[in-house]
Amino acid sequence: MKIINLLDYQQFSNEKMKKNNIFHSPRFFCDVYCFEPGQEQKGHIHGEQDKVYLVLEGQGTFKVGAEAKVLGPGQGTMAPAGEEHGVLNHTAGRLKVLVFVAPNP
Residues 31-78 pLDDT 10s? 999 999 999 999 999 989 999 999 999 999 999 999 999 999 999 999
Confidence category of residue 81, pLDDT binned at 50, 70, 90: very high
The pLDDT of residue 35 = 98
> How do residues 92-102 score in pLDDT, each as one tens digit?
999 999 999 99
Residue 86 to residues 4, 16, 95, Cα–Cα distance (Å): 26, 14, 14
CA-nearest of 4, 28, 43 to 105 is 28
Mean pLDDT, residues 24-29 taken together: 94
Q: What is the residue extent of each domain of the chain?
A: 21-35+77-105
